[in-house]
Amino acid sequence: MQLLYFAWVRERIGRGEEQRDVPVNVVTVASLLDWLATLSPGHAAALADRGAIRVAIDQEFAWMEASIDGAHEVAIFPPVTGG
């Protein structure tokens, strides 16, 4: 799975993207975040405040309960501040 990170999520993880083989028991956005948080202290710091995390699956916003089955690209970022 292609993972993309933006803004301070990217800064805390220390990279903008990475390719990861996600364990088969990781099936929702929420469980993906739980699993990613175990990968490094940077991942843990970036994902500590779940209320400040937004996720898009294949360029569409996704809820925490959404399935990641079949997802090619999952992006993780803070609430947007454009406009």
Partner 1 sequence: MINVRVQAAAFDAGAEATALAAGRTDIGAIVSFTGLVRGDDGLTALTLEHYPAMTERQIAAIAEQASARWPLLAGTIIHRHGRLLAGDPIVLVAIASAHRAAAFEAAAFLMDWLKTRAPFWKRGDDGEWVAAKSGDDDAAARWNA
Q: Which of 17, 31, 30, 35 is nearest to 72 (CA)?
A: 17
Q: Does 8 bind partner 1 (CB under 8 A)?
A: yes
* Whole-number Å distance between alpha carbons of 81 and 35: 27
Q: Does 78 bind partner 1 (CB under 8 A)?
A: yes
Q: Does 62 bind partner 1 (CB under 8 A)?
A: no
The one-letter amino acid code at 52 reads A
Binding region for partner 1 (CB under 8 A) out of 22-30, 34-42, 43-51, 70-78? 70-78
* Whole-number Å distance between alpha carbons of 45 and 21: 21
Return residues touching partner 1 (CB under 8 A): 4, 6-8, 10, 56, 59-61, 73, 75, 77-83
